[in-house]
Amino acid sequence: MSEKMSRRIAIFLFWLLGFTIGFTAYLSLPGVTAWFSSVLPNFLNHSMMGAIIAGVVGSALSTFTIVYWANRTA
């Protein structure tokens, strides 16, 4: 029972982390994409740049979180 409960807590915490990252990224994305659009050439439109940034940040943070958690519990 304890193992099942701790697994549910871990899943909930990873969900909460993902939600927080997504929420924060959504709020900060217009400023970041505007900056990238001014720095990089215009071969990518505004929405594509935002999708790339959100994907990279989300995947990096979730990967680092999982690796940290796996090494901590090993």
| b (16+ CB within 10 A) / e for 25-52 | beeebeeebeeeeeeeeeeeeeeebbee
User: Comparing 8-12, 33-37, 54-58, 60-64, which segment has the lowest mean pLDDT?
Assistant: 33-37
63 contacts 50 by C-beta, under 8 angstroms: no
Query: What is the share, in percent, of the chain residues with pLDDT greater than 70?
Result: 82
Tokens of 58: 């989300």
- 37 vs 16, residue with greater confidence: 16
What's the pTM?
Answer: 0.49
Structural domain boundaries of the chain?
A: 2-73
CA–CA gap between residue 49 and residue 47 (Å, rounded): 5
58 contacts 25 by C-beta, under 8 angstroms: yes
pLDDT above 60 (res 1) = no
